[in-house]
Chains A and B, each alone.
Chain A
Amino acid sequence: MIKCEEVLKRLNEYIDKELDETVTKEIMEHLKLCKYCCRHHDFEVQLKELIKKSCFDKKAPEILKNKISEMLGE
């Protein structure tokens, strides 16, 4: 079975769905059984969500929208 150390090293790629099917399955099985790695996994997933939520919080200002519309109109 794949070791914790290896799982943690590849957690980013696992969460980003960048690993091939075989490794993905191996990690998935490991996570089912290993509380330690599972905790790390949950943390990374939730942090990724939190980053998205925190960083995509603003609407482009109206003044900017107007400027761009004007610019395209010329």
Chain B
Amino acid sequence: MATANTNQDKKRKFEEQFLPLMDNLYNIAMRMTRNSADAEDLVQETYLKAFRFFDHFQEGTNARAWIITILTNTFRTKYRKYQKEPIQVDFDSIENFFLVDEIKPQIQPANKSEAKGSEEITEILKAYVSDDIIKALENVPEQFRLAVLLSDVERFNYQEIAEIIGVSVGTVKSRIFRGRKILQKQLLDLAKAKGIVGVKK
């Protein structure tokens, strides 16, 4: 009877801490696998592993970081095929690439001198809908995409991301830098293809 209670306790504690994080996991899984069937499998397997290893979770430490680490590792082992996607990025050409230098707002502010800088930027970015951003991000090679997601969406700091992925802080910094550059390149290509923003000559 005591064992049954302990098991119930364990389950309850696990559920309290980790079930509220399911939307976070699902969204990362969606971006990494790029389809809902695989994303669901990945999240399910992550929960299964997390529950199995729950005894190893240190109470009071970051539950979100802990379970996202499991998801990341599961993704890597389960979806090795994704890792094999060739990374064809000319890093020299993106080093000094800034999307903001390449596009201009669709609607020019009536009075340029009065237009605030941040409003002009908002106007530029209005050209992109959520699906555009997702599409561009999904074209970013996996290792860079993951670093950008963990920073921009989950708002982990570089040290936390380094621990989650299992690389150095320097590597995280470089992956985020490059990931964002590749994303911006993708967004420019998208803008050109759709003719959605005024692309500068």
- Contact residues of A with B, CB < 8 Å? 8, 12-13, 16-18, 35, 38-40, 42-44, 46-48, 50-61, 63-65, 67-68, 71-73
User: Are A43 and B176 within 8 A (Cβ)?
Assistant: no
> Taking the nearest CB of chain A, how far is it from the CB of B57, in angstroms?
15
The 4 closest A-B pairs by CB, nearest first: A54-B133, A54-B130, A60-B26, A43-B100
Which residues of B lie under 8 Å from residue A61 when comparing CB positions?
Answer: 26, 36, 40
A61 to B15, CA, bound (A): 17
Which B167-183 residues sit within 8 Å CB-CB of chain A? 173, 176-177, 180, 183
Number of interface residues of B (CB under 8 A): 49
Contact B151 A42 (CB under 8 A): no
Interface class of chain B by DSSP = helix
Is residue B64 within 8 Å, beta carbon to beta carbon, of the partner chain? no
What sequence of 0s and 1s flags, for each residue 108-130 of chain B, a beta carbon within 8 Å of any chain A beta carbon?
00000000011011101100101
Q: Which residue of A lies closest to B159 (CB)?
A: A18
Q: Are B22 and A68 in contact (CB under 8 A)?
A: yes
B 58-86 contacts with A by CB, 8 A: none
Q: Which residues of chain B are within 8 angstroms of A43 by Cβ–Cβ distance?
A: 98-100, 121, 124-125
Judge whether B44 and A68 touch: CB under 8 Å.
yes
Residues of A within 8 A of B89 (CB): none
Complex interface: chain B residues within 8 A of A63 (CB): 40
B34 in the interface (beta carbon within 8 A):
no
B164 in contact (CB, < 8 A): no
Q: Mark B9-20, 1 if CB is under 8 A from A, else 0.
A: 001001100010
Query: For B27, what are the chain A residues with a Cβ–Cβ distance below 8 Å?
Result: 55-58
Q: Is B31 an interface residue (CB 8 A)?
A: yes
Return the chain B residue nearest A58 by Cβ: B27
Q: How far is the CB of B62 from chain A (nearest CB, A)?
A: 17
* List of B residues within 8 angstroms of A65 by Cβ: 19, 22
Task: Determine if B44 and A39 form an interchain contact, defined as CB atoms under 8 angstroms apart.
Answer: no
B30 at the interface (CB under 8 A from A): yes
Does B137 lie within 8 Å of A71, measured CB to CB?
A: no
